[in-house]
Amino acid sequence: MPSQTSLVTPASPSGTSQLDLAADLLTLLREASTEPRADTQLEALTLAVAADLPVLLWGEPGIGKTAALTQLATALDLPLTTVIASVHEPSDFSGLPVVGDDPAAQGVPMAPPDWAVRLVRAGRGLLFLDELSTAPPAVQAALLRLVLERRIGALRLPPGVRIVAAANPRSSAADGWELSPPLANRFVHLQWTHDHDVVVRGLGGVWPRATLPRLDAEKLPEAVAFARRAVCGFLSARPGLAHRLPSGETRRGGAWPSPRSWEMTLRLIAFVTAADSSRDVLSLLVRGTVGDGPGLELLASLDRMDLPDPEALLADAAGAVLPERGDLRQAVLDGVVDAVRKRPERDRWDAAWTLLVRALETGAPDVVVVPATTLASLRREGWDVPAAIERLAGVVSLSRRADDATRRAAVATGVRR
* Residues 299 and 166 placed together within one structural domain of the fold: no
Per-residue buried b or exposed e for 157-178, using 16+ beta carbons within 10 Å of the residue's own CB: beeebbbbbbbbbbeebeebbb
**Are 70 and 85 within one domain?**
yes
User: How does pLDDT run across 6-15, given as a tens digit for each residue?
Assistant: 455 555 566 6
Same-domain check for residues 350 and 280? no
- Classify residue 10: in a domain, yes or no: no
Residue 171 and residue 239 in one domain: no
Task: Identify whether residues 178 and 145 lie together within a single domain.
Answer: yes
Q: Report whether 268 contacts 188 (CB < 8 A).
A: yes
pLDDT per residue of the chain (417 residues) written in tens, 0 to 9: 455 544 555 555 666 788 989 999 999 998 888 888 888 999 999 999 999 999 999 988 878 788 888 888 888 889 999 998 888 888 888 777 676 666 666 666 677 888 889 999 999 999 999 888 888 888 888 888 889 889 887 789 999 999 999 988 866 655 667 888 999 999 999 998 888 888 888 888 888 887 888 999 999 999 999 999 999 999 998 999 999 998 877 788 899 999 999 999 999 999 999 999 999 999 999 999 999 999 999 998 888 887 888 898 999 888 888 888 888 888 889 889 999 999 999 999 889 988 988 888 888 877 888 888 888 888 888 888 777 666 666 555 544 444 444 455 555 555 555
Over residues 295-323, the pLDDT tens digits come to 999 998 888 887 888 898 999 888 888 88
Residue 278 lies in a domain: yes
Task: Provide the CATH number for the domain around residue 175.
Answer: 3.40.50.300
On whether residue 17 sits in a domain, the answer given is no
Tens of pLDDT along 167-183? 888 666 556 678 889 99
Among 305, 337, 362, identify where a domain stops. 305
With the C-alpha atoms ordered 371, 377, 380, 385, is the resulting torsion angle positive or negative? positive
Kindly state whether residues 325 and 408 are assigned to the same domain: yes
Q: At what angle do helices 388-416 and 346-362 cross, to 10 degrees?
A: 70
**285 with 161, same domain?**
no
* Residue 19 domain flag: no
Q: How many structural domains compose the chain?
A: 3
Same domain, yes or no, for 301 and 323?
Answer: no
Last residue of a domain, one of 305, 335, 361: 305
Other C-beta atoms closer than 10 Å to the C-beta of 395 total 17
Assigned domain for 323 exists: yes
- Residue 77 belongs to domain spanning: 37-98+107-208
Judgement on whether residues 288 and 349 belong to the same structural domain of the protein: no
Residues 157 and 62 in one domain: yes
Same domain, 114 and 184: yes
The answer to whether residue 129 is domain-embedded is yes
Same domain, 249 and 117: no
Last residue within a domain, chosen from 305, 323, 358: 305
Domain membership of residue 260 (yes or no) is yes
- Is 28 domain-assigned? no
Candidates 98, 116, 186; CA nearest to 145 is 186
